[in-house]
Amino acid sequence: MFDFRLTVFYTVAKRLSFTKAAAELFVTQPAITKHVQELESQLGMALFDRRGNQISLTTAGNVLLRHAETIMGVYRQIEFDLNALKGQPGGRLRLGASSTIAQYVIPAVLARFQDHSPEVSLSLLSGNTDQIEQALLNNDIDLGLVEGRTHHSDIRYTPFVKDELVLVCRADHPLAGRDEITLDELKTVPIALRERGSGSLEVVEHALRGAGLRLNDLNLAMQLGSTEGIKSYLTNSASIAFISIFAVQNELKNGILRVLDVAGLTIQRDFYSVQLQGVSEGLADTFMRFARQQYNRR
Q: What is the mean pLDDT of residues 162-173?
A: 95
Reported CATH class of domain 90-161+270-296: alpha beta
Q: Phi/psi class of residue 123: alpha, beta or left (left: φ > 0; alpha: ψ in -120 to 50)?
A: beta
Asked whether this chain's domains 4-84 and 162-268 adopt the same fold, the reply is no
Q: Considering only residues 119 and 103, tell me which one the structure prediction assigns the higher pLDDT.
A: 103
- Specify the higher pLDDT residue, 71 or 91: 71
Domain boundaries along the sequence of the chain: 4-84, 90-161+270-296, 162-268
pLDDT of residue 297 exceeding 70, the answer is no
The number of angstroms, rounded, from the C-alpha of 288 to the middle of its chain's C-alpha atoms is 14
Name every residue whose Cβ is closer than 8 Å to that of residue 127 and which is 6 or more positions away in sequence.
96, 98, 99, 135
What count of Cα atoms within 13 Å lies in the side-chain half-sphere of residue 151? Answer: 14
CA distance 263 to 44: 69
Question: What CATH architecture applies to the domain 162-268?
Answer: 3-Layer(aba) Sandwich (3.40)
Burial class (CB in 10 A: 0-12, 13-18, 19+), 231: buried
Residue 1 has pLDDT above 60, yes or no: no
**Quick one: which H or E segment has residue 241?**
strand 240-244
Give the C-alpha separation, 289 to 298, whole Å: 15
How far apart, in whole angstroms, are the C-alpha atoms of residue 249 and residue 189? Answer: 23
pTM value is 0.72
Sorted by sequence, the CB contacts under 8 Å of residue 170 that are 6+ apart come out as 176, 234, 235, 237, 256, 257, 258
C-beta pairs of 224-233 under 8 Å, 24+ apart in sequence? 224/192, 224/193, 224/194, 224/195, 225/128, 225/194, 225/195, 225/198, 226/99, 227/99, 227/100, 227/103, 227/104, 227/194, 227/200, 228/103, 230/192, 230/194, 231/257, 233/192
- For the chain, give the mean pLDDT: 90
Average pLDDT over residues 154-175: 94
Look at 286 and 182; give whichever has higher pLDDT: 182
Task: Name the DSSP letter for residue 93.
Answer: E
**Cβ 202 vs Cβ 148: under 8 Å:** yes
Q: What is the pLDDT of residue 261?
A: 95
Task: Please give the pLDDT value at position 89.
Answer: 66
Question: What is the enclosing helix (H) or strand (E) of 132?
Answer: helix 129-137
Report the CATH number of the 4-84 domain: 1.10.10.10
Q: What integer pLDDT is reported at residue 184 of this predicted model?
A: 95
**Whether the predicted pLDDT of 102 surpasses 60:** yes
Three-state DSSP at 91 gives strand
